[in-house]
């Protein structure tokens, strides 16, 4: 299944990478040059909402590439104008600006928080976020993130960030000081291993923000665009954020992100924000083709149903092998009874299934929103046999 390659000496070793090198993708599958195929339950880390080489997205990209890739971020372009209108309508918020990555969108959100704090909270600029959260890899978004070890990497850390335990409203309440300007959370912690808060958590944080006069920032870079069953996780939670960040699935595979604000949180004025590639026509066209599919009648309901099917399968595996399951929509995790996730991921890849080890004892699954029951069944069966072997090995050692 795996093509042997010599390690590259030019690419920095930023992450351990397997020797499987995909050269082509189609729907839920990736193919290597030798024809080896792999069922992809990562999809670029929840990026390819519609799977690989979705015909609608491919056609839109080809069409736009033949017309206009990038003119200038200082000129309007029709795809960005139209996408902005559509996203504002879809989110129920008021203002939007585009960026190219999730980290940049969160960085922009932080700038807006500081701007608002300077105006409305006597210069307060501290943002409260949660332990184990993930918001990106720029210096400020690393400081916003609650990943262990990141607080001491690349010192000094930018000031103005404090963490509290996730899914703990009282801890958040206690952490608020006159220096606090905003609370920022993921509706479901993705990178931490699909940590789903108790029902009512986001509503309670929203109420806390209203009570204390703070901005409520939701990072939906991973949970947005149907990933958790609804278009956005905040809709299912029954809350409206002041600032919303989007990315990953938005571009349907192309780099695109956005920060969307409610009027009360304000917006950027001339000179405060920008980026060479921000809102380029190519990325915006890919996003609109993706949105056309996501908003078609019945599409999200079908994706949600696939999520329930996957959840039922993972529950069966948890019952059989020990451990547990959690998740929402097509963002799911299997919690293992032993810390064998990296070994299980390697063995699954050898057998043609791509999974993510979010933590040593957590497997994360983010299939295409178009994944079929048959594909889910193939993946679950493969995982089942690998779990049998690997957990027996863990017990023996």
Ligand X SMILES: *Cc1c(COP(=O)(O)O)cnc(C)c1O
- At its nearest, how many Å lie between ligand X and the CB of residue 189? 8
Degrees to nearest 5, angle at CA 104 with 100 and 105: 90
Q: Which of 40, 131, 219, 242 is catalytic?
A: 219
Closest of 233, 155, 156 to residue 197, by C-alpha: 233
Stretch that binds ligand X, among 82-90, 216-224, 277-285, 338-346 (CB under 6 A): 216-224
- At its nearest, how many Å lie between ligand X and the CB of residue 245? 7
Query: How are beta strands 37-40 and 180-185 bridged, if at all?
Result: unpaired
Half-sphere exposure of residue 257: CA atoms within 13 angstroms, side-chain side: 27
- At its nearest, how many Å lie between ligand X and the CB of residue 377? 27
Cα–Cα distance measured from residue 329 to residue 368, given in angstroms and rounded to the nearest whole number: 11
Interface with ligand X (CB under 6 A), residue from 117, 197, 247, 329: 247
The count of residues interacting with ligand X (CB under 6 A) is: 15
Query: How are beta strands 37-40 and 29-32 bridged, if at all?
Result: antiparallel
Instruction: Determine the 3-state secondary structure of 266 from DSSP.
Output: coil
Interface with ligand X (CB under 6 A), residue from 202, 221, 287, 294: 221
**Residue 175 contacts residue 162 (beta carbons within 8 Å):** yes
Interface with ligand X (CB under 6 A), residue from 134, 161, 232, 234: 134
Query: How are beta strands 126-130 and 161-164 bridged, if at all?
Result: parallel
- 205 is a contact residue toward ligand X (CB under 6 A): no
Instruction: Determine the 3-state secondary structure of 86 from DSSP.
Output: helix
- At its nearest, how many Å lie between ligand X and the CB of residue 102? 2
- 209 is a contact residue toward ligand X (CB under 6 A): no
Structure tokens at 349: 């890849």
Interface with ligand X (CB under 6 A), residue from 51, 102, 266, 281: 102
Interface with ligand X (CB under 6 A), residue from 186, 242, 347, 375: 186
- At its nearest, how many Å lie between ligand X and the CB of residue 20? 21
Is 219 known to be catalytic?
A: yes
- 253 is a contact residue toward ligand X (CB under 6 A): no
Cα–Cα distance measured from residue 220 to residue 227, given in angstroms and rounded to the nearest whole number: 10
Is 248 known to be catalytic?
A: yes
Interface with ligand X (CB under 6 A), residue from 39, 49, 83, 103: 103
E strands, 88-187, are: 95-99, 126-130, 161-164, 180-185
DSSP state of 263: G
Q: Which of 125, 134, 161, 166 is catalytic?
A: 134
Binding interface with ligand X (CB under 6 A): 101-103, 106, 134-136, 186, 190-191, 219, 221-222, 247-248
Active site residues: 134, 219, 248
């Amino acid at each position: 299944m795996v093509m042997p390659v010599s390690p590259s000496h030019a690419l920095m070793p930023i992450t351990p990478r397997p020797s499987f090198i995909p050269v082509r993708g189609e729907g839920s599958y990736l193919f290597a040059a030798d024809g080896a195929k792999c069922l992809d339950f990562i999809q670029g880390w929840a990026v390819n909402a519609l799977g690989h080489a979705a015909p609608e997205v491919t056609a839109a990209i080809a069409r736009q590439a033949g017309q206009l890739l990038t003119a200038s971020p200082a000129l309007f372009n029709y795809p960005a104008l139209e996408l902005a209108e559509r996203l504002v309508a879809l989110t129920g918020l008021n203002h939007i600006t585009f960026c190219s990555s999730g980290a940049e969108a969160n960085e922009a959100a932080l700038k807006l928080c500081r701007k608002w704090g300077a105006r409305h909270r006597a210069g307060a600029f501290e943002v409260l976020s949660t332990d184990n959260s993930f918001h990106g890899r720029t210096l400020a978004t690393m400081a916003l993130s609650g990943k262990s070890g990141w607080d001491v990497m690349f010192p000094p850390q930018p000031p103005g960030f404090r963490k509290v335990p996730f899914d703990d409203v009282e801890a958040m309440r206690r952490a608020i000081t006159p220096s606090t300007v905003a609370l920022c959370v993921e509706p479901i912690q993705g990178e931490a291993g699909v940590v789903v808060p108790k029902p009512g958590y986001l509503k309670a944080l929203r109420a806390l923000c209203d009570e204390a006069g703070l901005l409520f920032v939701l990072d939906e870079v991973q949970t947005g665009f149907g990933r958790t069953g609804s278009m956005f996780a905040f809709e299912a939670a029954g809350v409206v954020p002041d600032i919303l960040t989007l990315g990953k699935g938005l571009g349907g595979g192309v780099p695109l992100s956005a920060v969307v604000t409610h009027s009360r949180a304000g917006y950027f004025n001339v000179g405060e924000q920008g980026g060479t590639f921000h809102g380029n026509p190519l990325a915006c066209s890919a996003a609109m083709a993706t949105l056309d599919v996501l908003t078609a009648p019945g599409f999200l309901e079908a994706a949600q149903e696939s999520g329930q099917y996957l959840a039922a399968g993972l529950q069966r595996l948890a019952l059989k092998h020990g451990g547990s399951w959690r998740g929402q929509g097509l963002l799911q995790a299997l919690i293992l009874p032993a810390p064998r996730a990296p070994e299980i991921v390697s063995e699954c890849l050898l057998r043609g299934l791509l999974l993510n080890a979010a933590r040593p004892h957590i497997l994360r699954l983010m299939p295409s929103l178009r994944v079929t029951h048959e594909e889910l069944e193939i993946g679950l069966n493969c995982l089942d046999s690998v779990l049998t072997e690997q957990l027996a090995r863990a017990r023996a050692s």
